[in-house]
Structure 1
Amino acid sequence: MFHITKPVSRMKIKKQMYLIFIPLIIIPVLFIGTYLTTFFMKALYKQTSTQLESDNIRVKSIMLDCLINVYNISTDLISDNMLKSILTTTYLDAKEANNSLNNYNPYEDYVQNYSFISSITVYTDNTTLPETKYIKHINPSIYKQLVSKVLIPSSCKWAYSSPDTAVNPARELMLIRSFQTVQSKYKAIVVIKISNNFIKNRIQNNDLYTAISLNNNPVFFSTTRSMQGKPQDVPIDYNTDYYQYKGLFNFQDANVLGHVSSLPVFQSKDKLYITTIDFEAYRNITKIMIMCIAIISLAIFIPLAGILLYTKFFSTRVNSLRTAMRSAAMGNFDVIETLRGDDELTETFADLQYMITTLKQKEAAMFESKLKEKELLNQQQRMEFKILSSQINPHFLYNTLETIRMLAIDAGTMNIASAIKLLGKSMHYVLENAETFSTTLKNELDYIDVYLQIQKLRFEERLDYKIELPDDFSAKDYQILPLLLQPIVENAVLHGLENVSKNGYVSVIINTDFNTKLFIDILDNGTGMTSDKLNHLNRLLTDNIDYDADRSSIGLSNITRRIRLFYGESYYMKIISSTEKGTHVQLVLPLIPNQ
């Protein structure tokens, strides 16, 4: 027992509960359910097969009885001497022939007394006999269709009648027998057709499908009328003397249960093939099987779901207690207030909370003393900063730069004078907006223009630039964060055009939807970035990851953070770049009117 429990005790509690409870439920239910379902399916299958076989035998019995009776009637007719005499006599006039026919008329009795007879017709080549309802002359078509099948006297043949849409639209099984008229020059045959209505009334007493065909010919009778005249769509081996097939097979692209067997025709080499099918049996068995599987699944799923939920609940409580204890051990006392349940775990958590409360009280006293010490230190630092700041007077810097500029003008060095003037404007804008949160778009663009002029003095023909605004757009009427564009323009000049020896170009293009958004596009024609570097940079900006040591990344990251902080998550900066094609930075900002 120790060898079994030792490995289990090393597992997590959740896994222990799964290992113990799940096999105790799933395996027994699955085994018993599978056994019962299989037993039940086999019983249903056997019962259905037996029912189909019984009905097939019933149909065979009906057909055998009918065929024997038809054969016996045909025997009576071809053995009737009076009928032979009428058929073999050459009549001189029609009156004499009619008198003979009127004196002999057994056909009506047969048709009226035997419901399985559809019609009786005697075909003869004795043209001295007039045609009647039951006597017809043999013409070439009749000879080919009927007479040629029974050239031997007294021979018989089973065949189909041709469908007559006007009289009888269905094929009917018929017996053809020839008269034994050896001493006469005339030939005669009798054709007895079996009524499909009789077969239907005798056979169709349930919902089973029945089809009957002669030899390998199409179906002459079917309980489904649309199948009459079509081949048997079931597996049949016509070369087998006695054929029988039962079970599952495909019928019209559907799986069905059925029974197919052959019936040798009495006094003939012909065979009937009888098919019995239950279209609903396989479907019902499948439904029952699915229902059994669903019940088994529910019997497994419901207890399993309960075990999983309880295990998750219990494991969550244990993990919550462990997390609270670990947090307290690391000095984080902000743990959950309560633990669900009312058992030993809850009591343990209450003890933990009491311990945390005691520690927090002691820590608060220590923190208060440290806070006072830090406040004194901050006051001292602020005082030192104010003393340092007062030593640098912006007006002193401006006056100094103006004095140097005037000296440059007196010396005739206008380039130096212009550079000092631009530097003064730049410093004035930076110092003026160092602690502000808004300026006009015009002031920001003027500062960018000053910055680019300074860079142009530095790089000369390596750099040119342009700042474009839409027509009927006044930049002074809208607000923007100050010092937002300079780091981007600086990156375009210093990094984008780093390897450009001449004709470097930077464009600052302002657009708006004249409604809610302001679009600022900053483009350069420099060497651009590789896809890896671009993806890395966009990931830093999109995910708001701390910047790398690269100063360009610092500036762009700060811009992204300022946009999100002041304008919200709907506004952003996007970078598009490829090697040898330059870099395109687009800012999407709110269009804020000047107030």
Structure 2
Amino acid sequence: MILPKKPNTVLQIKVRKQMYFILIPLIIIPVSFIGIALTSYFVKALYQQTSSQLESDNIRVKSIIVDCVINLFNVSSDLIDDKTLHKILTTHYANPKDASAAIADYDRFQDYMDTTTSMTSITVYTTNPTLVEGKYIKTATPEIIDKLFSKVSVPSGSSWGYNFFNRTIGNPSSELLLVRSIPLVKTDYSAILVITVSNNFLKNKIQNNSLYTAISLNKEPIFFSTTRSMQEKDQSVPINYNSRYFLYNGLIHYKDKTVFGYISSLPVYQSKDILYVTTIDFAANNKFVNIVILCAAITLLSVIIPLMGIVFYTNFFSSRILTLRLAMKNASKGDFNMIDSLRGDDELSETFTDLQHMVLDLKDKEAKMYEAQLLEKEMLNQQQQMEFKILTSQINPHFIYNTLETIRMLAIEENNQNVSSAILLLGKSLRYVLENAETFSTTLDKELDYIDVYLQIQKLRFEERIDYTIEIPEHFSPSEYQILPLLLQPLVENAVLHGLDDISKNGDVIVRLSTDNCTRLIIDIMDNGKGMPEEVINAFNSEITLEKSASDRTSIGLNNIKRRIRLFYGDNYSINIISSTKEGTHIQLILPLIPI
């Protein structure tokens, strides 16, 4: 029964769906996983790089400030310990000219200004009213006393603050001040030393990259910033002023933006004051966004390009399958006209090539079949002519049986029992042959009876030269099983006529039946004659064509039986010779045990 063909569109949809469902997840899932992993890796690496860069720059800025602070502190310590300066500040001058002369002769202030670039100014404020104000020594006003003298009430004490008085006169930038008290003895006068840190110096030292840096003192506004507009404004970052050792590294909210920053505190040398240094990379967040966008774009392209290839390949592959299927469908209908080739070089192309070869074979077999049909018709015509001629002279088999029976009765009347027995056996033999000449199956007991009749005839012929035995296993009923008719007689005939050819007496033929697990019938036919040459046995058992003449009926008979067994029973059953020269001939048949 031929199954109905499904539409081509169904096949096309199935192929495409299967390839989409299998290949697309195999592309999307691994590529997406790799893309996410790479994005996370690059973001993490960029985060660590930015964090390390900000930390390094923050440490660099603090190192610059520490160097500057310690340097200025050492300068201040040198000045407040100067005995000459102490004498100038504690002397009560009656004549202003003497005060001016004393101040003019003191040149250490100018020496430090010439050699120390981190200072903007050095100023000594004193309460001695007899001193004349100059460039470096000035009289302390009530405002100075209120805002600066109060910071250093302890002798030799130090404090840091902002240059508030310069801001009052319009200076747009705050500067950091170091305020130290000058320990004056045996006098009612007091004095302080004020050193102003140069913002230009800090700018030249700090601003050498694109990072933003802001420095503030305590809770005061920013006194230095790489962005000038941020000076004198509050730090716009979260700072815990209660912690002397504050540190924060990561994303911060700065002026409605999310930026990456590093904030740390710096306790000032020999002081209770704390500096806060803020380092911000405004471009870091954009870098994160850009790296994510780039990785996403790469991942997307890594998905889209294979998907386009899959779509193209599935269309190409399904079209080739449809072409092959159409060619097979046409061939099944007898239409052998098809395209010359199939695009591609793979198993489908090879299958199409095999289909072309099959079609060519079918055409060739169709032509041969047509020729065979013509030949068969011709032979039928000839057979009909021959049958017409034979009908006129055909002898009825019953006439043969009746004639033999008449001859046997005459032999009995003449008291010749041997002739009578021979004719009886010949009649049985002839009847079995004629009855099974055109059949394909008979019972095993009938075949064995026929062999027994044949051997009786041969025994009548050769008398004491031959004897025989037919061995049947106990509990085995030959009448219940089938066998090809006239299969054993040629083998028994070979044993008698060829195997015992040189035996003058005591020749023996044995026909032995056995079974193999009730699935196979094994028939051994043995004689005690001269045996067969070794080359004939090897050639026969290895299925090599025997190079014998047409008169060698032994070889021809054996090969005919072998082909007959293979034809009817298959390759698992055959005939083999398992004997050798001078030890007789032993032929073994292996047949299926087929019940009736």
TM-score normalized by structure 1?
0.50
TM-score normalized by structure 2?
0.50
Rg comparison, structure with higher value: 2
